[in-house]
Structures are given as C-alpha cells and as structure tokens.
Structure 1
Amino acid sequence: MTARARVSEREGGEALTDKTILIAGTYDTKDDELGYLAEVIRNQGGQVLTMDVSVLGEPRLPTDISKHEVAQAGGSSIEMAIASGDENTAMQIMGAGAATKALELHREGRIDGVIVLGGTMGTDLALDLCSALPIGVPKYIVSTVAFSPLLPPDRLPADVQMILWAGGLYGLNGICKASLSQAAGAVLGAARAVEPPTRDRPLIGMTSFGKTVLRYMVTLKPELEARGFDVAVFHATGMGGRAFESLAAKGAFAAVMDFAPQEVSNHLFGGLSAGESRMTGAGKAATPQMIAPGCHDLVDFVGWQAVPPQLEGRPMHAHNRLLSSAVLSPAEREQVAQEIGRKLSGAQGAVAVLIPDGGCHEWDRPDADLHDAEGLRVFCDALEAASPKLAEVHRLSCHINDPAFVDHVLQIFDRWLAEGIIDAP
C-alpha cells in the first residue's frame, strides 16, 4: 500500500490520510537528531522513511535506505567514495545518489515530503536532493547555515523551506529541539495540506513585477483563463526568474509571455541575476513565446547595501528598503537589446517580439522621474534590429501599461491558437 493510500484515525474519529516523510541525513553522526525528527512526525500521526547519506560510519540502527543504496544510485559505491580521499568528492557522490533515490521514491508514491538535516556538508547535499523533486512536494532543510550567503540562489529549489538549526551542531538540547520540532511539524503539515500542480488546464507562464510598475497581467490573466488556460505570474527578481526558467526548460508551459526580462539586464550589469540561462528555456523546449521589454532599462540591487560601484552616479529608484534600481544609459540599453536577440536566436518554437514605443514601465512615462526618451528610442531600434529573422516583430505605438498593449497580445495569442501554434485546451 502506498503512502498516499493509508488512512489514520484521530481522536473524535476524524479521518486523516497519513503522509510519509523522507528523513535524510548522516545517521552515523546525527542519529539522535534524526531520530527525534522521526519521533515528532510519528507522534503527529505521520509515517517516515529514513535515508542514510553518511560515508565513513554506521548508524546505530539500520535505515530504510542504506548509504550503500544511496551511493549506488549515484553511480558509485561507498568504497569508491572513501577511496577518493576527499570529503567533498565523497559527499557529491552521496548528493547525486540521494537526489536520484528521492525522486525514485516520489515517483513510486512512497513519500509525500522530505526533510534533510545538516551542517554545510549536509546542506550541500540537501540542495541537490530537494532540487530533484518537483514543485508541490514539500521540502524542508534544517541547516546550520540557513539563509546564509553561502547558499547560491541558483541552487535553491523554487518551493524549498528552510529553518536555522540553532544550537544544533552537536547533540540534542532544548534550543535545537525547538527548531527540529517546528521543521517536523511543518513538513508533515505541508504534505497534508498541499495541492500539487494539476494538468487539467494548459499553463501560461508570465513574468512581471508589482502593479505599481507593470499592469498587463491584471487584464491578461482573466482573459487567458476565459480561454481555458491557467496563468502563473512569476516575480522577476532573481529567484522568480530562476523558477520560471526551470519550468520553461522542462516544457511546463503551453506558451510563455516573458514581458519582464529585466533579469537579463541584471545579469549583464551585476544586478539580481537569474543566471545565464534566463530567456532560453522556452526556446529550447520549442514553447511558443511572446517577448516584451518590461523594465529592461533598470538594474536591481539590494537596497540596504551600498550602491554597487558599476551603478554609481545614475538615476535611481528606491522601490522599498529591500530593493532599489539604477537606470541604464542608452549605450547599455543597446547591449541589453543585443543580448535579448542573441538569446532568442536559439528558439525552436514561435517567437513574437512586442516593442512598445511609448515606454516599458510606469516610471518611464513622459511625466515620470525615470523618463529617458533617447534611451527608449535607442533600445527600441536596437531590439528591432537584433530580433531573430524568424521572429514576428511588432512595433507598437503605445506604452506597455496601456490597454492597446494587452489588446495586441491577445490578438497574437488568438491567432496562434487558431493556427495551432498554441495547443487549444
């Protein structure tokens, strides 16, 4: 019987579907802490599967998934990991194996969530394991370096949860039990409450920012839903763009409306990057995509830190205490246009580039603080020239936040639907 089929009874006769949580860690050194996690989950009516990812030592009691099975799933063996003589190499073997094994367990319906515990070594492995699982599978990392700058954004799964393992480097105590018990309860509760993504309606992937700067999604979302599609809008501030790009590369979208490619500018000029692969996933997956240059002229940086040297002396916009933006020069905007064209040139599916001559965000309107008519003209001309020959290029006499922009997007969308470029629901 799979984890999803079991049912338990609570006091009062309330029926709950039991959920099984995978608990992964180095059972040779963290046996007490991992055992405590299992105890809390079981006391709450959940089930557990245990996975040992240690290399040198042995757990006090056998685990459901042994370290030998993990190493084998990583295409190696414990003996080879030890023979490498390098702890980094050994843990990468175990990380690859743990990721493969966790995904296998999920596909078999044997687990409903995962919790991984560790210091820097265990956290490194945890990022691999959690990244292997799809969005909607609860993932919890209990780490001594949670929220640390040691953790590269590109390795953080889109829906991972983390908690600082305070006072827990070695052995159980009252402080670390507070963290461990919260994590155990959180992952079990998430497994019981989660509504995994469904495939009953084709999904449109869209990028944007808040309504104070970009507004098209307010009208587009209900219009696309009325046509039988679901719409996911991603906040393009680095992590959101990474999640968007990851799903696009897997072919998760029926079509893409990438109207806020500012992360391309960020990557070029040292802002909040979503990585080099930004704006390539949909093209590689042959997903039809519409592109517009929302906020292309802005480079985001951390608002509570000093202005990066390469962005000093420019017009600035402080969005809040977390986020500020610097404005690019006309020459730099031209670089952005050329980079967008380069990325789109590898697309295997239909591409439409929409270029609104009237402006690309609310702060660049003629009466706004960041208006730069010459910079906008230079960019629009450059993007039209840089767009791939196979792309449709639509030069629009409107602002990106005007109703005319949305009308044009829907005209293209409906035509692509009629022509079969976008699969109908």
Structure 2
Amino acid sequence: MARPRIIILGSCDTKLGETLFLRNQITKSGEAEALLVDVGHIPVQNDQIDVTNLELAARRSVDAAASLAELSRAEYIKYMIECATPFVEELYQKDQIHGIVSAAGSSGTSLATAVMRNALPIGFPKLMVSTMASGDVKHLIEETDITLMYSVVDIAGTNFILNQILTNAAGAIAGAATAYYQSQSKPHAEGESQRKKRIGITMFGVTTPCADAIRSHLVSNYAYEVYVFHATGSGGKAMERLVREKQLDAVLDITTTEIADEVVGGVLSAGPQRLTAAAQAGIPQVVSVGACDMVNFGPRDTVPPEFTSAGNKRILFEHNPAVTLMRTTPEECVLIAGFIASALQDHVVRPDLVKVLLPTGGISMIATPSQPFYHPESDAALFETLEKRLDGSGIEVRRDDRAINDKDFALLAAESLVELIRKTEAEK
C-alpha cells in the first residue's frame, strides 16, 4: 500500500543525531516514508542521508559543490536556500512528498523555513521544530501556514525532553502528511468545470459589515466559496500569495487599508507588491478604498513623535488598548491613490476585468458624518486622484454616494464581481 512521504531538512553537520532520531520516529510505525536531505554546511557521510548537501549543490553548480564548506555562514545559508528550494518544489510538483519537517537552531530555522515558504503552497503540511519558536516569528512564517514547535531545550544532543518533543513532532507531521496524502488521492466528486469559484475578500474591523454582506450574498446566491482575509499586513500578503498559487479565481479587494500603512509608515503594511497579484493573473477584480482613512499603530504611546508633536498633531483614535488609528491627510491620500493606480496600471493584463468602486458616503465605519475620521477633504483627494490616474487605462472607476458599510453598496460590489466572472465564463 502506498504511503505518504515526508521530507526532512537536516543540518547534518551539527544536528545529525537529532535529525536521525526524528527520522526514526517518523518511519518506525511503517505508516510513512522519510526522505532525509542534508542542508548542512560541512559534508557528512551517513547511510541514512538520502540526499547530501553536495548533491544538492551540484544540481546548481559543480564548482560550488566543491567549495561549499568555504562559504561563510551567511553565504552558505543563502546559497543552500537557492539549492534546496527548486529541489523541494520539484518533488512537490511530481507529488513525491506530502509533508516537510525540520529541527534546528536559528540559522537552520532561517534556512528551512525559507525553503518551506518559497517551495510549497499554502495547505501543504509544514512543521518547524525550533529554538526560535518562542520569540518574534513573523519573519519565519510571513503569510504562510508553517507550524512552529518550540524545542524548549537547545537542539544540541538528544535527551529526554528533546526526544519527547521530536517524537511529538514526528507524530504531528506524519498525521498531517497522511491526511494531506489521502485528501489528494480521493477522486474529485465534481468535475473541474463544476468546482465552486473561489473568491477572496479583504476585511477590517471598520469594514466588517460590508464584507459580511458580500460574503452572505455570494454564498447564498451563487456557487461560490468565499475566503475572507483580515487586512492586517499578513492577510493581504496571504491573499496575494493564494492568487499567485492559483487558489483564488476572483478578488473583492474592498479593504485596501494596508496600502495606507505602506505609504505613511504604519505597522500593518502588506509590502510594496500589494494589489499586484490579481492584476497580473488577469482574474476578475473589484477594488475599493476601505479603511484608507487610517494608518495603524500599536498602543497610543507607540505612535511616532512626528505625528504627535505640537506642530504636526494628528487626529488619533484608540480602536482598542493595543491599536491606535491615525487619520490620513489629503496629501497622504494622494499618495495612497497613486499607489493603487500604479499597482493596477503597471501590472494589469485585463483592464476590462478590473473595477474600482468609490463609496463617497464614507470609506470606513468611523469616516461617515458625525464620526471621528469624517474628513471630506481627504476623501476627495483620494477619489479625485484615483479617477485622474486611471483615466484612459481601460479600468472602470465608479463613484457611489453610499458608505462602504451600506448594504446596498455591498450588493453593488458583489454583483460587480459576478458580472466580471460571467464575462470570463462567456469567453470559454
């Protein structure tokens, strides 16, 4: 009977005993196979290593393989990521692996998690046992679904505590890989043409009513499956990644607030590539400016001094004790609109499949009349810049006099996407 196969990334020059223990725990029940790949710095000879670091390096450059040990630590980590990533990706594409695991310290964790992020899609089982798992792990996980397990003790020789943790890790990755393997092996109940359309929606606390209404309408009236992404930086990145992985068919990017953080310097930026994936993929895309009235910071005392000084005192709103919002100015809104326009214009392959909706009645829950972020001049700068910058681009820009959280605006956004989806279906 076929079994799932788990790839183990091991720094065998420094963690051989621990890695072999992990391998043994995975394979001893006979329910899963293991492929041990050495991503260590110094070559190691051991019969249980299936792919050596020299073999990995040789796939990229014969000369580099001979001098691998001469690289500095930083150079070696970067180089081994470049060697291991295409190797692991190739195994995944051929359906030859069904889970990945590693156990390492700081350098090995950086290496292994980079390979996991770069080579494997969301949904593929990924487990990292690490001495770093109890600290700031954002740079290790980014927008992916890597599972981290804290090693508690250093991975420096087997002992009772570490062995138990590695045993648990083996059980966890074997179980996840088995579930993944079985799900991939099942025949599809529906033909590809009847698979539900997968729709991504962006949401923030202050645009939740809009996102909820859109989701309810699409699920109730169409054969769509809806994925809601919390626009907190990682959420926007995750949606962009899923579009690139072809795991989303259309996007309702209602809440583009992460762009305000990228432009102004808030803490919830999704990076400079935000808003590009759907445009490049040529899939139906409805974009709005939800929560572009705000920049996010932590507790009030973390707001940068340049925004609280007497000469530049800004409108602040305490969303909760851990989140302080700052109202965007007209000048900042011009920059935000410029970012959105450039991202769409510079990357769009099907302008006719993109619509921009501007809710002039208010772009967030707290930007309507009588609310603290009501500032018509800033909103006008946002709307007018978008209209001007996208004029002649082939991308439709439409104003609507309702607020973003008005149910009828939500229905307009939802039906606008449906119209674009039907257009693509008619072309097939």
The normalised TM-score by structure 2 is 0.86
> How far is the alpha carbon of 1:152 from its aligned partner?
2.9
Task: Give yes or no for contact 1:251–1:287 (8 Å, CA) kept in 2.
Answer: no
**Which amino acid is 1:152 matched to?**
H
**What is the total number of aligned residue pairs between the two structures?**
406
Deviations 1:119-152 (A, max 9, x none): 2221221122101101111111122223544763
Match of residue 96, structure 1, among 42, 61, 82: 82
* Letter paired with 1:27: C
Please, what TM-score do these two structures have when normalized by structure 1?
Answer: 0.86
Does 1:121 pair with 2:107?
A: yes
Q: C-alpha separation between the residues in 1 aligned to 2:300 and 2:136? A: 15
Q: Given that residues 300 and 318 in structure 2 are in contact (C-alpha distance below 8 angstroms), is that contact kept between their aligned partners in structure 1?
A: no
After superposition, give the CA deviation of every residue in 1:210-234 in whole Å (9 maximum; x if it has no partner): 4x54222222224333322222211
Aligned equivalents of 2:370 and 2:256: distance in 1? 24
User: Which string of whole-angstrom CA distances, capped at 9 and with x for unpartnered residues, describes residues 198-220 of structure 1?
Assistant: 9632322221124x542222222
TM-fit CA distance, 1:321: 4.5
1:38 equivalenced with 2:4 (yes/no): no
Query: C-alpha displacement at 1:59, in angstroms?
Result: 4.3
CA contact (8 A) 1:214 1:361 kept: no
Question: Partner letter of residue 283 of structure 1?
Answer: A
**8 A contact 2:295–2:327 mirrored in 1:** yes
What SS is found at the alignment partner of 1:295?
Answer: coil
Alpha-carbon distance change, 306 to 137 in structure 1, aligned in 2, over 3 angstroms: same
Does the alignment pair 1:413 with 2:420?
A: no
For residues 223 and 48 of structure 1, the distance between their equivalents in structure 2, rounded to whole angstroms, comes to 46
Worse overlay, 227-236 or 349-358: 227-236
Alignment partners' CA distance in 2, 1:258 and 1:37:
43
Q: How does 1:187-336 map to 2 (within 5 A)?
A: 187-194=173-180, 200-210=195-205, 213-225=207-219, 226-271=221-266, 272-303=268-299, 306-312=302-308, 313-336=313-336
SS at match of 1:345: helix
Q: How far apart are the structure 2 equivalents of 1:192 and 1:423?
A: 39
Per-residue deviation, 1:75: 4.3
Give the deviation of 1:115 after TM superposition: 0.6
- Give, as a single letter, the amino acid of the residue that structure 1 aligns with 2:325: S
The residue type equivalent to 1:376 in the other structure is D
Secondary structure of the residue that 1:364 maps to in structure 2?
A: coil
How many angstroms does 1:276 deviate by? 0.8
Q: Is the 8 A contact 1:54 1:67 kept in 2?
A: yes
Counterpart amino acid of residue 341 in structure 1 = A
The 1:33–1:319 alpha-carbon spacing in structure 2 relative to 1, beyond 3 Å, is: farther
Quote how far apart the aligned CAs of 1:190 are. Answer: 2.3
| AA at the equivalent of 1:369 | P
Q: 1:324 to 1:147 in 2, by over 3 A?
A: farther
Identity of aligned residues (%): 29
Tell me how far 1:364 sits from its aligned partner. Answer: 1.7
- Cα distance in 2 for residues equivalent to 1:33 and 1:303: 42
CA contact (8 A) 1:146 1:162 kept: yes
Between stretches 326-335 and 301-310, larger displacement belongs to: 301-310
- Residues 358 and 400 of structure 2 are in contact (CA less than 8 Å); yes or no, is this contact kept in structure 1? yes
Gaps of 5+ in 2: none
For the residue of structure 2 that corresponds to 1:332, the secondary structure is: helix
Q: CA deviation at 1:268?
A: 1.0
Larger mean Cα displacement after TM superposition, 375-384 or 394-403: 375-384
Aligned pair in 2 of structure 1 residues 79, 157: CA closer, same or farther (>3 Å)? farther
Q: How much does 1:305 deviate?
A: 6.9
1:399 aligns with 2:403: yes
Gap change, CA 1:372 and 1:178, over 3 Å in 2: farther
3-state SS of the aligned residue for 1:203?
Answer: strand
Q: Deviations over 1:379-411 (max 9, x none)?
A: 222322233521111100101111121222234
Match in the other structure for 1:14 = none
CA-to-partner distance for each residue in 1:341-400, whole Å, 9 max, x for gaps? 121112112221100011111122223233223322332223222335211111001011
Distance 1:74 1:209 in 2: 44
Structure 1 pair 383–92 and aligned structure 2 pair: CA distance change class (3 A) = same
Show CA shifts across 1:232-263 (max 9, x none). Answer: 21111111111111222344432221111111
List runs of 5+ in structure 1 lacking aligned partners: 7-17
Q: What is the CA–CA distance in structure 2 between the aligned matches of 1:178 and 1:304, rounded to whole Å? A: 43
Q: Could you say which residue in structure 2 is the equivalent of 1:15?
A: none
Query: Which structure is higher in RCO with an 8 Å CA cutoff and minimum separation 6?
Result: 2
Once residues 37 and 302 of structure 1 are traced to their aligned partners in structure 2, the CA distance between those partners, rounded to angstroms, is: 40
CA contact (8 A) 2:294 2:327 kept: yes
- Report the Cα distance in structure 2 between the residues aligned to 1:373 and 1:304, rounded to whole angstroms: 25
